[in-house]
Amino acid sequence: MRLLGPYIFILVGVLIGIATTFLFKNPMRIAPNVVLGVLGSFFGLWIRDIMDWRLGGNLSGALIAAAAGALTTTIIINLLMNRRTKM
């Protein structure tokens, strides 16, 4: 698990970054959203470790935290970018 864990979390971040690209219907931002998804997944894991939250087992809790971190990061940044471009 120690060797595969980071790759799984990167994959979760990439998939959520792609999903939020299509959620906001802007295919020109796919690369920044993928990067934000990966960074957000590690941010979610970091927050989980700091707060000492236990969301199930080791792997399932880490996947939930990574997905939640990636989702919140990409959605917040996309909302801010959409608001900035509409002004």
User: Under a CB-based contact definition with an 8 Å cutoff, are residues 61 and 54 in contact?
Assistant: yes
7-10, long-range: CB < 8 A, 24+ apart: 8/63, 9/41, 9/42, 9/45, 9/62, 9/63, 9/66, 10/38, 10/41
pLDDT of residue 51: 92
Q: What is the pLDDT of residue 1?
A: 63
In tens digits, the chain (87 residues) has pLDDT values of 678 888 999 999 999 999 999 998 888 889 999 999 999 999 999 999 999 888 888 888 999 999 999 999 999 999 998 877 766
DSSP one-letter code for 1: -
